[in-house]
Chains A and B, each alone.
Chain A
Amino acid sequence: MATTAQPQSDAKSAASLSNEEILRYSRHLIMPEVGMEGQLKLKSAKVLLIGTGGLGAPLGLYLAAAGVGKLGLVDFDVVDFTNLQRQVTFGTSDVGKPKSEAARARLSNLNPDIQIESFETQLTSANALDLLKDFDIIVDGTDNFPTRYLVNDACILLGKPNVYGSIFRFEGQVTVFGMPDGPCYRCLYPEPPPPGLVPSCAEGGVLGVLPGIVGSIQAMETIKLIIGRGDNLTGRLLLFDALGMKFRELKLRKNPNCPMCGTHRTITKLIDYYEFCGVRGEEASAPSLQVPEITPRELKTRLDRGDNLFILDVREPHEFQICNLQGHLIPLGELPRRVHELDSSREIVAHCRSGKRSAEAVDFLRKAGFRKTLNLKGGILAWSDEVDPSVPKY
């Protein structure tokens, strides 16, 4: 006698799966660890992705593929050509489009059965609690400290798990914050670094596939939390070193004195996170460097005139290979040791990619007695914009 796998019911309700869904997720369903029960939990789950960039790409793809019933995508940014090296939800034809919308379209195509809502907005203290409250799990795929602290605090205030992942160049960190009796981001790092002390992806670079790996681990943790299987990373900081291909684990303890999640909470509402991170009203590099400057046009005029200027390039050798102004290359980190290569009687123009490192070089040299040193404002990027567009930008 034929028996049906389950009672016939409305295919749209979260209490059952349609025949099409059963076929789509068959590889989940045949695993005892997931089964119908787990898949139905996924279908009922609502996950909010903060950030649809490097980490958000594998997150969105794998959570959509897994059948998470509702996905929210928060990103106010627009797809940039340089994103395509790692943000694999986007295609070349998406350049210029809002990320949240481009991601929504891609994920909808992957899985039309789930609900995907895009929020083309910046997450702020004014909107965070409202945005997050209707979701079960929040996944932090952001790229800056103020937002990370904001997401953390909002999750703790709302009682929601926060699946955290972060990357730098070829290293990553993953953990789960906000679980009952578990630590939060402030337990791990009570304070952010001052701006300028830790380089960004644009300055330090990143191996494209790294956020692919870290974001996939975040997706895995999210799915495990939904289906209630396995041991999640709460209380454990997973460190990944892509170059050494090593995973390490450190104990992440809940700080009893944490102002957010400790026994005596002192933070009861969202704050100004940009102020907290020291970003408001300050230049990116601290201390602020006021050094004498020369613009690319001024430099070109003086060079054409035959002025005896010494061009000092303080970038790294691999950058010199991309493009250069035929300057004398001394990477910034080596300058103190190689300062004897410079002649203090000559007028020196220091440059780097965007003008930040060279400002530090000029500051250092002036203090070392090189009185005739100038910083090329805007670096080789500005040279390309204003003087010679054949110089590639990177």
Chain B
Amino acid sequence: MPVKVVIPSPLRPYAGKRESAEFQAKTVGEALGHLTTEFAELRKHLFTEDGKLRSFVNVYVNDEDIRYLAKENTPTKDGDTISIVPSIAGGCF
């Protein structure tokens, strides 16, 4: 069982409308790398030009925020779920 990456609805248009994708990955960084290789358009929504994760996008491994783990070096194992949770506000912006 590989690592599952859950794609939130604001980003699904840039990921071929997929709700999730699965990859073999040993770290969060590796999984996100696979994700943005497969869906190149996602890259600019997740990362800044110098390759940093955008600050209005949070990433969780299972239920823990990676900022409090090892960030992109957070290890992942088979069956883990990586959630991408962007800031949403509905309505106006």
Contacts and interface: CB of A to CB of B under 8 A. Distances in A.
Interface of A: 53-55, 142-146, 148, 166-171, 173, 188-193, 195, 197-201, 204, 206, 211, 237, 239, 244, 248-253, 255, 277, 279, 333
B56 A192 contact: yes
Interface string B63-93: 1110110000000000000010111111111
Interface of B: 8-10, 13-14, 19, 41, 45, 54-56, 58, 60, 63-65, 67-68, 83, 85-93
B55 A189 contact: yes
Contacts of B54: 193
10 contacts: A142-B91, A146-B93, A171-B88, A173-B85, A192-B87, A200-B92, A237-B85, A248-B63, A248-B83, A251-B65
Nearest to A334: B16
A171 B93 contact: no
A333 B91 contact: no
B92 A144 contact: yes
Contact of B63 (A54, A192, A250): A250
Closest 7 CB pairs of A and B: A143-B91, A144-B92, A168-B88, A191-B55, A193-B56, A167-B90, A189-B87
Nearest to A190: B55
Given A171-B8, A190-B55, 8 more contacts: A142-B91, A168-B10, A168-B89, A188-B87, A198-B93, A206-B90, A251-B64, A333-B14
A249 B63 contact: yes
A249 B83 CA distance: 11
B58 A198 contact: no
Which of B14, B55, B93 has most chain A Cβ within 10 Å? B93
A11 to B, nearest CB: 41
B75 to A, nearest CB: 18
Contact of B93 (A189, A195, A244, A252): A195
B88 A166 contact: yes
A144 B88 contact: no
B45 A197 contact: yes
A375 B23 CA distance: 40
Contacts of B55: 189-191
Contacts of B13: 333
A142 B90 CA distance: 8
B58 A279 contact: no
Which of B9, B10, B55, B88 has most chain A Cβ within 10 Å? B88
Contacts of B58: 188-189
Given A191-B55, A249-B63, A168 B93 contact: no
B65 A200 contact: no
B47 to A, nearest CB: 13
A191 B56 contact: yes
Contacts of B92: 143-144, 200-201
A233 to B, nearest CB: 14
A314 to B, nearest CB: 13
Contacts of A255: 67
